[in-house]
Amino acid sequence: MKFEIDQSGKIEQTQKNTALCLSNDKWFAILIEAKTKRKLQDIFRQHGQARNFVIFTFSAGLAILLERRTNIDKVVVDKEYSGKEAVIKRIVLEMLRASGKKEPTIDFSQIGKGAMAHHWAHKVASKEMSAHYVVGFKEILGKIKTYLR
């Protein structure tokens, strides 16, 4: 099955929550709270890798989102971080492999505001709807700690 993924509330906007939504005819959304993002940003700063905070946190969020669903053969991720798609894809696939989860085909494209993934991600980020899962600090840290030097 093919799914689209969109983000609402960018990772780097640490004053806002981030919602990542996976959608085709159904939807599933995770939430990364602003306080979690700020704690992660501090960890990256402590390791002298402040520039890597966004890409690794976004990648970890995508991996967690994909781990929580089954029967996903292909996903199209909205182009959030232009020019970084290959790095994000590599990191997500490494994280999925490490957790023993299925690795879908991952492509990147402009999803657009009319997509259901965009619609539901926005609803969750703006608190009109609840996320299916709230990602904790320790869970994301567990995904990224091997990348911190």
Question: Which tens digit of pLDDT belongs to each residue from 60-108?
Answer: 999 999 999 988 999 999 999 999 999 999 999 999 999 999 899 999 9
Domain containing residue 40: CATH number: 3.30.420
Q: Which domain holds residue 137?
A: 2-147
Amino acid 75: pLDDT: 97
The one-letter amino acid at 88: I
Answer positive or negative: Cα dihedral of 89, 22, 147, 39. positive
Task: Please determine, for residue 58, whether its predicted confidence score (pLDDT) is greater than 80.
Answer: yes
Specify whether the CB–CB gap between 124 and 130 falls below 8 A. Answer: yes
When divided into structural domains, the chain yields a total of 1
Question: Which tens digit of pLDDT belongs to each residue from 7-25?
Answer: 999 999 999 999 999 999 8
Here the tokens at position 60 are 């970890």
